[in-house]
Amino acid sequence: MSEILTKELVVAAGTARTKEDAIREAGALLVASGAVAPAYVDAMLERERTVSTYMGSYLAIPHGTNESKESIKHSAVSLVRYENPIDWGRGEVRVVVGISGLNNEHLGILSKIAIIFSDPVEAQKMVDATTVDELFELLESVNAE
């Protein structure tokens, strides 16, 4: 099994300016890594239309619908950080973490991310980080068993 998060899945300066484009940007990383089929990105957008993935602390965690499970080839996490906040409807987002979880692995991944972002100091470190290496180090715990 490959790592869930690799440096190739981390972008320190995202280019999206809207929620939809940010979801596409995080999803494109998952597609490029071979973790998901392109249809999964559409499912990420569909989920967002029905349930917001805004989590607070400048974080959103878009992921696909239950119906999109067949589009997942392996579990992966993408991370895109934005210098300027993106309006997510319920709050501003600076960090978008895209998730694809094979066989319900997304639940454990979500739990690990929630632990990091529930600590205001750690959440601020993520917002303040400006390099791929810094961001990877902060979120690397998702790779631990």
Question: Active-site positions?
Answer: 63
Q: What are phi and psi of 94, to 5 degrees?
A: -120, -15
Rounded distance between C-alpha atoms, residue 38 and residue 43, angstroms: 9
DSSP structure string for 24-39: HHHHHHHHHTTSB-TH
In Å, what is the CA distance from 55 to each residue of 37, 61, 97, 100, 102? 25, 7, 11, 17, 22
DSSP 8-class letter at 58: T
Q: For residue 57, is it left (φ>0), alpha (ψ between -120 and 50) or beta?
A: left
